[in-house]
Structures are given as C-alpha cells and as structure tokens.
Amino acid sequence: MVPHNPSSTSTADRERGPAISVAAMVEGIVGCKWSVSLLEVLGRGPTRPSALLRACPGLSPKVMHQRLRKLTRFGILGRKVFGEKPPVEVEYSLTPFGKRFLRILEEVRRVQEEWDEGALSRPDGPAEKKGDDPL
C-alpha cells in the first residue's frame, strides 16, 4: 500500500474509509462463502438483489446486504440506483477492479480443483530434496 497525502485525497477516497490492502480483501472475501457466491453470480453481469437471493439459496437478506456493502466499500462492486422516489430499483455490478479481483478467485478455484484431483503434490507426500523449495 502506498501512503498518500491527506490533502490530496479525493472525496470518493474519503467516503470509502481507510485504505485496505488487496491481501486483506482476499482474506476477507475468500473466507466468506457468501461473498464468493455473490461474486460468482455478479461475474455473469449486473444483477438486482432479488436475483442474487434466488441464485444463493440459504443466503439471508441481512447477510446479503452486509456482504454487498462490504464489496462495494472495497471497490469491487458498483451500485446503481434507478428512480428517485421509492420504490427505487438497485443493481450491482463488478467494477473494472472487481473483474480483476474475480480472476484471483478463479485461480484459487483452479488450484483447488488440481489439489482435489491430486495434480498438485501434498505436504504429507514424499519429502522433497533440499533446494527444491518452489517458494
């Protein structure tokens, strides 16, 4: 994270709150099955909250709204309101950053599939030779 000059902070930055690292975002999102499920649905295109609830059986409206607010605060989702008087319609969609972020989740899924298929070596497998550490 790059420190910034508070006097040059834009209004949008101040509304978002304190800066957060991408690693913290990944941890906060990957650790929540509902956030991942919502992002999978939103990866198909802009979606209204009612459609998100239908696509995620078991998800309560309260938890959905908490997750949507969090993802919007992170800058992963955009929220568009249609209409000025109630009832207004709301639609969520991935931002350009959100589309990049979704690729991280897709890579995590691919690694998990390879792990499940045994294509990746497991830590409880044969000991590796010294100097073979991939990291």
| Residue 72 predicted with pLDDT over 70 | yes
Residues facing 25 on adjacent strands: none
Q: Domain range holding 63?
A: 20-115
Q: What is the CATH number of the domain that holds 42?
A: 1.10.10.10
Residue 15 lies in a domain: no
Output the pTM of the full model.
0.71
Residue 29 lies in a domain: yes
Residue 126 lies in a domain: no
The alpha carbon of residue 29 and the mean position of all alpha carbons in its chain are separated, in whole angstroms, by 5
Can you read off the two tokens belonging to residue 105? 């989740």
Taking only the tens place, the pLDDT of each residue in 80-111 is 999 999 899 999 999 999 999 999 889 988 99
Can you read off the two tokens belonging to residue 53? 């609830």
Residue 130 lies in a domain: no
- Total count of domains within the chain: 1
